[in-house]
């Protein structure tokens, strides 16, 4: 369970998040949506202790962020940041193996190699393992980064817009793999998504953020309405229901 | 690749032992007493010094490139080298009779301060503008270099400056190069933390999310780089380019995972410096061209070729 209580955050004097209370239950996929600049990445980076918490409290699986060592938290929570700019020439296999660091602390063993193989297999990266990250497509690169987070083998996974720049096939494949991590491995996934239709199509729960506040949360069918699109996203789009899930007609 | 490199290095090693002002055959060097003396006093130390310097320069270049998350930077020209020279100079002016150990410590401390200053300067630069880092480093190194010149001028030391700042191996004798072993130990230490350093190339946040103690690893690496640079400047003088060209070449072939790359970098650095020194010894014998000069020529050429290849590939 991820529990957030009274979380507020300001950057350079301007408030970004306002007194957020949020509880995300164990398991399943939670999509974090909201307009650009709503504070989704900030919220994720606070949960992942990449920024210091200014006010409020966050616990992940009972461990309090900010009081738990980086090392322990790295075995509880994996995070894939929004911008994954890597200047170094690393191979796909190198990158995925870095995900094992919290467990081996510099001395990889047979178990770690097993996990890396598993991640490469599951994310269909075996044929690309020796390729450098700057020699593969954007979709393959995103997949490699998610595979690295998967190899970290943590019960909680935070992904910030992993579908950026992906074509429809790559995006659907990746969402399928994310879904699988929740369904097959019982991991708790929090994913920031840009496209509401991907959120309603793949997530169990939505959390909608606007101007640093939670505007709505719940199951997609209850949340995604024309009123929400108007009030939160400022656009008047039609919402249709298909197979019990709401879809935004764009 | 490693085998070929090792064979090449061995060949150069023998060649380096065989050439010199005194005409001695390789067999004489081992068999006659005068030969053995020459070898132990001068040729072996010189050869060892070239190899150690090459290893240290290349490895510290690669480590700094990981820390800076930028390919176009190396400690010798980015402030650490100049700071080390400043340390030696100040030490000579303030404590003229100081033991070599004191000079060494002064150089290492100044190099450390210089490297930390650089890291602080480049840290806020955006990774999306990769040319800013070498630009800032160049200016920074230039400013410290100017301070060195100013201090030398004030202290009437200008005539020493040229000798110091141009790295050369001709003065290497037994008893006068052993500090380089300290640099070699510091280089070796960076290999021990190679996996941790590689994580840093993902960026500070991603490294911390994996549980890495980013501050500690960075501090250890900066300290190691500074010691290596200082030992080379104190013993031989400044040798630019090795730390830039070699890691770039190795990254092209073997990537940046340091556990795999650092040994290759060390090997290639040793080959480059030893080859450059041999070339400098034979090119206008009996006179010598300083190793820093030969390397500047080889290094600049190699770098231009490399950049060009990179462009056609990309
Ligand atoms: N480093 C920063 N400095 C100043 N403002 C920032 C910084 N990072 C984010 N912000 C501001 O915080 C707000 C929320 O940003 P972010 O969390 O990235 O939003 P989202 O991920 O929802 O698009 C935005 O208004 C953005 O301008
Ligand atoms: Mg964002």
- Do residues A134 and A71 share a domain? no
Peptide bond into B286 cis (omega under 30): yes
**Distance between B104 CA and the closest CA of chain A, angstroms:** 32
B153 pLDDT higher than 50:
yes
pLDDT of A87 reads 76
**How far is residue B123 from each of residues A5, A28, A100, B63, measured CA to CA in Å?**
33, 38, 27, 15
pLDDT of B22 reads 63
Question: Does residue A244 form part of some domain?
Answer: yes
pLDDT of B314 reads 39
In this structure, what token pair is assigned to residue B17?
Answer: 């032992």
pLDDT of B170 reads 78
Strand partners for A5: A57
Nearest alpha carbon to residue B84 among B59, B65, B105, B58: B105
Q: Are B186 and B193 in contact (CB under 8 A)?
A: no
**Distance between A54 CA and the closest CA of chain B, angstroms:** 18
Per-residue model confidence as pLDDT tens digits over B164-192: 778 777 777 777 788 889 989 999 999 99
pLDDT of A63 reads 94
Q: Are A209 and A34 in contact (CB under 8 A)?
A: yes
Does residue A215 have its Cβ closer than 6 Å to ligand 1? no
Strand partners for A20: A7
Q: How many domains does chain A have?
A: 2
- Span of A28-42, B59-73, B90-104, B211-225 with lowest mean pLDDT: B90-104
pLDDT of B41 reads 75
Query: In angstroms, what is the span from residue A82 Cα to ligand 1's centroid?
Result: 12
pLDDT of B24 reads 63
Whole-number Å distance between alpha carbons of B91 and B85: 10
**In which band, very low, low, confident or very high, does the pLDDT at B313 lie, cut at 50, 70 and 90?**
very low
Does residue A50 have its Cβ closer than 6 Å to ligand 1? no
In this structure, what token pair is assigned to residue A29?
Answer: 């996929």
- Do residues A149 and A161 share a domain? no
pLDDT of A99 reads 96
Whole-number Å distance between alpha carbons of B176 and B50: 13
Q: Do A102 and B210 touch (CB under 8 A)?
A: yes
Query: In angstroms, what is the span from residue A210 Cα to ligand 1's centroid?
Result: 12
Averaged confidence pLDDT in chain B: 86
Question: Does residue A190 form part of some domain?
Answer: yes
Residue numbers in B near A94 (CB within 8 A): 198, 255, 257
- Do residues A8 and A69 share a domain? yes
Residue numbers in B near A87 (CB within 8 A): 69-71, 127, 130, 201
The listed range with the strongest mean pLDDT (A186-195, B19-28, B105-114, B296-305) is A186-195
Question: Does residue A175 form part of some domain?
Answer: no
- Do residues A93 and A49 share a domain? no
- Do residues A1 and A72 share a domain? yes
B103 pLDDT higher than 90:
no
- Do residues A204 and A193 share a domain? yes
Question: Does residue A111 form part of some domain?
Answer: yes
Question: Does residue A82 form part of some domain?
Answer: no
pLDDT of B26 reads 67
pLDDT of B42 reads 78
Domain residues for the domain of A124 are 87-153
CATH class of B2-18+42-313: mainly alpha
Question: Does residue A202 form part of some domain?
Answer: yes
- Do residues A53 and A164 share a domain? yes
Does residue A154 have its Cβ closer than 6 Å to ligand 1? no
pLDDT of B309 reads 67
Q: Are B152 and B160 in contact (CB under 8 A)?
A: yes
Query: In angstroms, what is the span from residue A160 Cα to ligand 2's centroid?
Result: 7
Q: Do B255 and A152 touch (CB under 8 A)?
A: no
Angle, CA of A236, A242 and A246, to the nearest 5°: 40
Among protein residues, the one with the nearest Cα to ligand 1's atom 18 is: A41
- Do residues A59 and A166 share a domain? yes
Angle, CA of B232, B237 and B240, to the nearest 5°: 85
Please identify every stretch of chain A with a pLDDT value under 70, giving residue numbers as ranges: none
Whole-number Å distance between alpha carbons of B195 and B214: 12
Query: How many beta carbons lie within 10 A of that of residue A116, not counting itself?
Result: 23
CA atoms within 13 A of residue A80's CA, in its CB half-sphere: 30
pTM listed for this prediction: 0.88
Q: What are the residue ranges spanned by the domains of chain B? A: 2-18+42-313
Q: Do B199 and A86 touch (CB under 8 A)?
A: no
Query: In angstroms, what is the span from residue A39 Cα to ligand 1's centroid?
Result: 6
- Do residues A163 and A135 share a domain? no
Determine phi and psi for A184, rounding to 5 degrees.
Answer: -85, -40
- Do residues A160 and A133 share a domain? no
Residue numbers in A near B205 (CB within 8 A): 45, 50, 81
Question: Does residue A27 form part of some domain?
Answer: yes
Helix (H, G, I), strand (E, B) or coil at B286: coil
Whole-number Å distance between alpha carbons of B17 and B14: 5
Q: Return the ligand number nearest the Cα of A162.
A: 2
**How far is residue A3 from each of residues A15, B69, B115, measured CA to CA in Å?**
21, 35, 42
Q: Return the ligand number nearest the Cα of A45.
A: 1
Does residue A212 have its Cβ closer than 6 Å to ligand 1? no
B57 pLDDT higher than 90:
yes
**Distance between A226 CA and the closest CA of chain B, angstroms:** 38
- Which residue on chain B is closest to A82 by alpha carbon? B206
- Cβ-Cβ contacts under 8 Å for A211 (sequence gap 6 or more): A18, A38, A39
Provide the residue count of chain A.
Answer: 250
CATH number of the structural domain spanning residue A217: 3.40.50.300
Contact pairs from chain A to chain B, CB under 8 Å: 80
- Do residues A46 and A14 share a domain? yes
B140 pLDDT higher than 80:
yes
Whole-number Å distance between alpha carbons of A53 and B144: 39
Q: Are A41 and A82 in contact (CB under 8 A)?
A: yes
- Do residues A126 and A223 share a domain? no
Report chain B's C-alpha Rg in angstroms.
19
**Distance between A39 CA and the closest CA of chain B, angstroms:** 18
CA B300 from chain centre, in angstroms, equals 16
Strand partners for A15: A10
CB-based contacts of B16-20 (< 8 A; 24+ apart in sequence): B16/B43, B16/B46, B16/B47, B16/B50, B16/B274, B16/B277, B16/B278, B17/B43, B17/B44, B17/B47, B19/B278, B19/B281, B19/B282, B20/B281
Report the pLDDT averaged over residues B105-116.
Answer: 89
Angle, CA of B52, B76 and B46, to the nearest 5°: 25
Among protein residues, the one with the nearest Cα to ligand 1's atom 10 is: A11
Per-residue model confidence as pLDDT tens digits over B21-34: 666 666 677 777 77
Determine phi and psi for B174, rounding to 5 degrees.
Answer: -60, 140
Does residue A16 have its Cβ closer than 6 Å to ligand 1? yes
């Amino acid at each position: 369970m991820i529990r957030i209580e009274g979380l507020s955050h300001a950057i350079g004097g301007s408030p970004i998040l306002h007194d957020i209370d949020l509880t995300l239950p164990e398991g399943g996929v939670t999509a974090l949506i909201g307009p650009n600049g709503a504070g989704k990445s900030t919220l994720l980076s606070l949960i992942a202790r990449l920024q210091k918490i200014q006010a409020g409290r966050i616990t992940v699986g009972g461990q309090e962020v900010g009081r738990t060592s980086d090392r322990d938290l790295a075995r509880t929570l994996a995070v894939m940041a929004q911008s994954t700019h890597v200047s170094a020439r690393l191979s796909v296999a190198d990158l995925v193996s870095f995900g094992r660091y919290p467990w081996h602390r510099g001395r990889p063993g047979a178990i770690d190699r097993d996990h890396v193989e598993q991640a490469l297999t599951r994310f269909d990266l075996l044929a690309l393992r020796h390729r450098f990250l700057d020699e593969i497509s954007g979709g393959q690169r995103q997949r490699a980064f998610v595979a690295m987070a998967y190899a970290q083998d943590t019960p909680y996974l935070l992904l910030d817009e992993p579908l950026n720049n992906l074509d429809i096939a790559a995006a659907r494949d990746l969402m399928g793999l994310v879904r699988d991590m929740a369904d097959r491995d019982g991991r708790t996934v929090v994913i920031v998504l840009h496209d509401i239709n991907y959120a309603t199509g793949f997530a169990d729960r939505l959390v909608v953020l606007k101007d640093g506040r939670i505007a709505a949360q719940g199951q997609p069918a209850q949340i995604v309405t024309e009123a929400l699109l108007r009030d939160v996203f400022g656009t008047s789009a039609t919402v249709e229901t298909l197979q019990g899930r709401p879809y935004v007609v764009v | 690749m490693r085998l070929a490199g090792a064979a090449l290095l061995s060949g150069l090693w023998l060649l380096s032992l065989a050439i010199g002002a005194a005409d001695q055959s390789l067999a004489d060097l081992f068999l006659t007493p005068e030969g053995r003396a020459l070898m132990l006093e001068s040729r072996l130390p010189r050869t060892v010094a070239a190899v150690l310097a090459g290893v240290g320069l290349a490895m510290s270049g690669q480590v700094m490139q990981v820390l800076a998350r930028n390919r176009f930077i190396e400690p010798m020209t980015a402030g650490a080298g100049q700071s080390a020279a400043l340390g030696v100079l100040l030490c000579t002016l303030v404590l003229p009779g100081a033991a070599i150990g004191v000079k060494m410590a002064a150089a290492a401390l100044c190099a450390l301060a210089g490297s930390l200053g650089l890291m602080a300067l480049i840290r806020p630069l955006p990774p999306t503008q990769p040319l800013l880092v070498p630009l800032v480093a160049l200016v920074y190194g230039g400013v410290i270099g100017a301070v060195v010149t100013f201090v030398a001028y004030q202290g009437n030391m200008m005539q020493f400056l040229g000798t110091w700042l141009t790295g050369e191996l001709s003065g290497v004798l037994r008893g006068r190069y052993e500090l380089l072993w300290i640099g070699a130990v510091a280089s070796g230490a960076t290999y021990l933390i190679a996996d941790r350093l590689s994580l840093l190339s993902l960026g500070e946040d991603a490294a911390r999310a994996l549980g890495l103690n980013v501050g500690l690893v960075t501090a250890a690496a900066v300290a190691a780089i500074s010691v290596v640079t200082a030992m080379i400047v104190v013993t031989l003088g400044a040798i630019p380019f090795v730390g830039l060209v070699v890691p770039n070449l190795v990254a092209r072939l073997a990537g940046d995972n340091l556990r795999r790359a650092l040994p290759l970098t060390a090997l290639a650095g040793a080959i480059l410096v030893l080859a450059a020194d041999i070339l400098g010894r034979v090119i206008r014998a009996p006179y010598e061209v300083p190793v820093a000069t030969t390397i500047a020529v080889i290094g600049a050429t190699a770098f231009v070729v490399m950049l060009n290849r990179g462009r056609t590939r990309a």
